[in-house]
Structure 1
Amino acid sequence: MSATSLGNVTVFMVISRGPRASENAPARVFAFSHQLELTLSDNLITGSLPEETLEELRQAKKVLEHHGIADRLTEMIGTPVTASLKMLPDSVESAIHQAIEKSLHVALDVALRTLGDDKDSANGASRGKPKLLTHKLLAGLSGAAGGALGGATVAAELPVSTVLILRSVADIARSEGEDLSELESRLACLEVFALDPGQSSDIDDETEIGYFAVRAAMAKQIKDASQYIVQHGIRDSAAPPLVRLVTQIGKRFGVVVSEKVAAQAIPIIGAVGGALINSYFIDHYQDIARAHFTIRRLEREHGESLVREAYGQIKLRQRPRRVTDRNA
């Protein structure tokens, strides 16, 4: 008989040593013990967090791992956005790329120069419930022009809506206890633009990556940008560490913007539809921000490793993979 101790649980196993005992018995016992240890370990991890915390994690994971903006827009307009993506002319795609780069540089400048100016931020105080409706209405107004005039307005409209989203994200961050006088918290607001679910990795377009994988991929760029800003200030937004950060975010944000522009370019959309799409756009990132900063709050309260382990154990219903390949 052997005993395996798993935390406060001891498992006893009887091992046959007779002449007919299989040579592989020790291996089978080890495999059984290892699997049992994993199962009990999972239960111990989830059991160490309060149920209300686990429910917050479930709701956050549902947002961060489930529906991307293309799914939401398709549900709204009744037409697959991916079909419209194939019809975007090269000139519009080029305009989108330039607008994304400009928008994220503007957003970075706003994040670094103004998000920490609020008195509540300086004191590390929460502002209670975020005021989301104002940002949503303003985004709707900027989207009305995009819907009425088509994709040609993206260069003028996108920087406006991006900054509105960033302001809204910062409001949500404060409500979850973030101190925006801290540089890392301000860059975490910018990180939200890279967190749209349902996107693929840069290595393999068929491999979707999860929330924590994106955060891990962003960690080096955020660290390098933070170190540069601490040492040199924010005089030069074209400094290599800042450019690399914007480029990394832009790879993922660009997919979402292309999907939004494709939806607005559908002839039947018009000004009213354009306003509604922009409202969906900001609502989508508000949801992501709320989930993102909820998890960051829980990490501060319970520890990063425990929260990440529990997050990984939460199972969601699988959604069908959507096709985003324009050449398909």
Structure 2
Amino acid sequence: MEPIPIATSSITEADRAALAAAKQALEREPLAMKLASAVGMPIERLLARLPAYAHDTIADATRRALDASLRTALATLGTPQAAAIESDTAAPHPMRRTKARDWLHKVAVATTGAAGGAFGLIALPAELPVTTTLMFRSICDIARSEGEDLSDAHARLQCLAVFGMGRSTQDEEADFGYFIARGALAQAISKASSELASKGVAAHGAPALMRLMNVIAARFSAQVSEQIAAKSIPAIGAVLGAAVNTVFIDHFQQTAHGHFAVRRLERRYGTPAVQAAYRAMDSAPTAPGARSRA
């Protein structure tokens, strides 16, 4: 169940600053630009070099990776340990904000990237599910740090939805932005969360949940393709492979920080007020490298 927003007269300056930071995280340069900076070559050029079979391999690996994360999401749903997402540490109270451990997950994902850099596309089916599950745990950690109750099915699906919120080189909409991506997922998340709430673990494979996974997979697959393209440089090696994976997880961590900060503010001020304030920031100056495209 979504928390009931608390009506307040205006957004405080501190929360406006938090919203501005969230907007910068959500609307700055796409993953392809970040990867291009890491490898020193346009991703579009590298995508064109991928062999024909690579796209089927990436699509299959993406679905397997998301399914692994979904199983993680379902594993402890509704149990007293739900907020921990099978963490090795004790879970704090689910609605208490705690600092996310981004660096810990970055190190783990960089390690899998080193292996991928050494073995290339052939390592993808083994590497991507591990990498994606680690990223999902990081996203859940970030969600918890923004006050999400991870014992709730809807909150778990919001964590999965982060994989479908990024922009890719395949986006044609000039005005593609956070609220457009979020709106495209909203109905599917609502229906899937209803199934999870009523069926629990038995909902795995249910129609509404599979429709949501299809929508997320379509968008996530495009960004996985960009990551794999960045690793397709001959003799990329373990070091650059680790760097590419670090950029990859950082991109989704920043998206998660922005998304769950917006949701936290919406719980406090209501969705209309937060969206209006977010969009009003279009004309405000942004930091170098930030992009305002709400």
Say whether the fold is shared (TM-score over 0.5). Answer: yes
Select the residue among 76, 100, 116 that pairs with 1:130: 100
Aligned partner (choices 61, 78, 96) of residue 23 of structure 2: 61
Aligned amino acid, residue 49 of structure 2: M
Query: 1:1-328 counterparts in 2 under 5 A?
Result: 48-114=10-76, 116-118=82-84, 120=91, 123-126=93-96, 128-197=98-167, 205-235=172-202, 237-315=204-282
The answer to whether the Cα contact below 8 Å between 1:200 and 1:209 also exists between their aligned partners in 2 is no
Query: 1:291 Cα deviation (Å)?
Result: 0.8
Contact persistence 1:200–1:208 (CA under 8 A): no
Alpha-carbon distance, 1:199 to partner: 6.0
Q: Distance in 1 between matches of 2:149 and 2:240?
A: 37
Task: Give the whole-Å Cα distance in 2 for the aligned partners of 1:236 and 1:306.
Answer: 34
Question: 1:268: how far off?
Answer: 4.3
Shift of 1:184: 1.0
- The CA distance in 1 between the partners of 2:255 and 2:161, in whole Å, is 11
> Which amino acid is 2:35 matched to?
L
Distance across 1 between alignment mates of 2:190 and 2:25:
26
The equivalent of 1:7 in structure 2 is none
Q: For residues 39-80 of structure 1, what are the alpha-carbon distances to aligned partners after superposition, in whole Å with 9 as ceiling and x for unaligned?
A: xxxxxxxx9322222221111111211211111111122111
Structure 2 vs 1, CA of residues 117 and 178 (structure 1 numbering), >3 Å: closer, same or farther? closer
Instruction: Give the conservation status (yes or no) of the 8 Å contact 2:109–2:245.
Output: yes
Instruction: Tell me the equivalent position of 2:5.
Output: none
Query: Any gaps of 5 or more consecutive residues in structure 2?
Result: 1-8, 85-89
1:165-216, CA deviations, whole angstroms, 9 ceiling, x for partnerless residues? 0101111111111110111111111111111145666xxx244421111111
TM-fit CA distance, 1:106: 1.2
Q: CA RMSD in A?
A: 2.2
Deviation, 1:82, is 1.0
Q: Counterpart of 2:145 in structure 1: which amino acid?
A: S
Gaps of 5+ in 1: 1-46, 322-328
Question: Could you tell me which amino acid in structure 2 is paired with residue 82 of structure 1?
Answer: E
**Paired AA for residue 231 in structure 1:** S
CA contact 1:143–1:276 (8 Å) conserved in 2: yes
Distance 1:161 1:64 in 2: 21
Between the two proteins, the alignment pairs up a number of residues equal to 271
By how many angstroms is 1:92 displaced? Answer: 1.4
Taking structure 1 as the reference length, the TM-score comes to 0.77
Rate the CA distance shift 1:242–1:275 in 2: closer, same or farther, 3 A.
same
Q: Give the distance between the partners of 1:86 and 1:320, measured in 2 at CA.
A: 27
SS at match of 1:99: helix
Identity among equivalent positions (%) equals 41
Partner-residue secondary structure (3-state), 1:181? coil
Query: What amino acid is the match of 2:39?
Result: I
Highest RCO, 1 vs 2 (Cα 8 Å, sep ≥ 6):
2
Deviation at 1:236, TM superposition (A): 5.0
Q: Distance in 2 between matches of 1:157 and 1:214?
A: 27
Partner of 1:41: none
